[in-house]
Amino acid sequence: DTGVSQDPRHKITKRGQNVTFRCDPISEHNRLYWYRQTLGQGPEFLTYFQNEAQLEKSRLLSDRFSAERPKGSFSTLEIQRTEQGDSAMYLCASSLGEGLGDNYNEQFFGPGTRLTVL
């Protein structure tokens, strides 16, 4: 499978616990994005990476959230001291990021990690 993969697919945790999600982008895609989607809403942008550099962060990304992409390949999103309001689908996407034509920054999404905070 050459698409974006995310792990785990589902995570149930208790309030106050830390959780970490992993995203593996499409091979050779330079850009990687994190979004959050709550029930009945469209995805909301959290942050994105160009290779290993984190270039943009949403104000939604509170100080309890941290994302990394240490070698410019896979990325992790960690949520510390989870709250019930963190319950959502966390989506990762990737794009080629460079090249000719207007499709080089098309964002392709993974299946998501569904987080439930009890």
Partner 1 sequence: QKEVEQDPGPLSVPEGAIVSLNCTYSNSAFQYFMWYRQYSRKGPELLMYTYSSGNKEDGRFTAQVDKSSKYISLFIRDSQPSDSATYLCAMRKGGSEKLVFGKGTKLTVNP
Question: Using CB under 8 A as the criterion, which residues of the chain lie in contact with partner 1 when the complex forms?
Answer: 4, 31, 33, 35, 40-45, 48, 55-56, 58, 91, 95, 102-103, 105-112, 114
Tokens at residue 92, please? Answer: 């990762």
Measured from the CB atom, the residue of 82 and 112 that comes closer to partner 1 is 112
Distance of closest approach, residue 55 Cβ to partner 1, in angstroms: 7
Measured from the CB atom, the residue of 50 and 76 that comes closer to partner 1 is 50
DSSP 3-state assignment of 88? Answer: strand
Distance of closest approach, residue 35 Cβ to partner 1, in angstroms: 8
Is residue 82 within 8 A of residue 17, CB to CB? The reply is: yes
Is residue 83 within 8 A of residue 66, CB to CB? The reply is: no
